[in-house]
Amino acid sequence: MKKIFFVLIAFLGFYSCEEAFTTVLTVDPPEYVKRMAVHAFFDAKDTELKASVATTVGLLEDVDNLGRINDAVVELFVDGQKVGDMVNDGGVSSTTYNYFIVLPKPIGDYGNEVELRITHPDFDQVSAKEKFPAANLPLNLKFINNAGAIDGGEPAAGIEIEFQDNANQEDFYEIGVIGIEVFPSQDTNFYSIYSNSLDPAIVMGANYEDLLVNDITFDGSKYRLLVTFAKWSIDNNLPLGMKWNNVSKSQYLYSKSIGAFNNSRETAGPFAEPVSIYSNMENGLGILGLRRGTYFVVER
């Protein structure tokens, strides 16, 4: 009887596998309304500004040229005054961005609030307004040669950062550890080093090398945080640095949502809960993000 039962189970298992390989499911993609998707990230020191203008794409829809829209009108305003129109690159760019404008002075010198307005006859006008964050720099950066261990037990080094947060306002930071390579030609190359932190004020950003900091738990206080990284990831013969960006709230929320999406996809796979990507584009999707960015050398 046991042998018959075993054969029956084996037969059912074989039959199920056979069906799995021969069954085809037809799924109708959900209906959606096409909208413009705009992405632009400006630093206050930038004189050349770039933006990406594209269209949203359906789940099973084929798309050419990354869905770029090359015939839109992209207007740039600062503090309500028009600075100029961003120019399309002719649709030949192989990079993410297909619109640009070159200014005679840094964008931050024009004022505080930046606005993009994007107009196209096939879509509703898309726009976003964002203000540059206040500059708030570290007071001290200290290299820690022995900073415990990271995941997997690898010996870790670290950088302790001390800074004074602005009082009575929301402040958001994007930080990262960098290696600095200077060539004989005096050209400098910055490369990112994967880092982490156990500080509850820090979350992972859109890029695995970037960490995001929100001042909600230490508003207006002098604060210290420790960022760690594997010792093997740094070359003792090269300078070490810290990327320190004061970022706008929208850029913080966008980067945080991308980080949450990446983490959900990696840990839960196809069973992951949906993660909404933050957008501040009215009548569209995407982000206008602003920052004041600085690099520091960390003495070892």
Confidence of residue 4 (pLDDT cuts 50, 70, 90): very low
Q: Going edge to edge, which strands form the sheet with 222-230?
A: 138-144, 156-164, 222-230
As a whole number, mean pLDDT of residues 21-34 equals: 62
Model pTM score: 0.84
Q: What are phi and psi of 143, to 5 degrees?
A: -80, 130
Q: What are phi and psi of 84, to 5 degrees?
A: 165, 180
Rounded distance between C-alpha atoms, residue 257 and residue 259, angstroms: 5
Over the stretch 212-242, which tens digit does the pLDDT of each residue have? 999 999 999 999 999 999 998 887 778 899 9
Percentage of the chain with pLDDT > 90?
Answer: 64
Confidence of residue 3 (pLDDT cuts 50, 70, 90): very low
The pLDDT of residue 235 is 74
Handedness of CA 286, 242, 149, 182 (dihedral sign): positive
Rounded distance between C-alpha atoms, residue 202 and residue 223, angstroms: 13
Q: Which long-range contacts (CB under 8 A, 24 or more apart) does 49-53 make?
A: 49/76, 49/86, 49/100, 49/101, 49/103, 49/107, 50/97, 50/99, 50/100, 51/86, 51/97, 51/98, 51/99, 51/100, 51/116, 52/96, 52/97, 52/98, 52/99, 52/286, 53/98, 53/99, 53/118
As a whole number, mean pLDDT of residues 202-214 equals: 91
The pLDDT of residue 92 is 61
**What residues contact residue 264 under an 8 Å CB cut-off, 6+ apart?**
272, 273, 275
Can you say whether residue 65 is alpha, beta or left, with left for phi > 0 and alpha for psi between -120 and 50 degrees?
left
Does residue 265 have a pLDDT over 80?
no
Q: Are 223 and 230 in contact (CB under 8 A)?
A: no
Which of 188, 174, 199, 158 minimizes the C-alpha distance to 253? 174
Rounded distance between C-alpha atoms, residue 85 and residue 163, angstroms: 38
Confidence of residue 27 (pLDDT cuts 50, 70, 90): low
User: Which DSSP symbol is given to 273?
Assistant: P
Q: Are 235 and 177 in contact (CB under 8 A)?
A: no
The pLDDT of residue 209 is 84
Confidence of residue 144 (pLDDT cuts 50, 70, 90): very high
The pLDDT of residue 236 is 72
The SS3 call for residue 28 is coil
Which of 118, 132, 108 minimizes the C-alpha distance to 39? 118
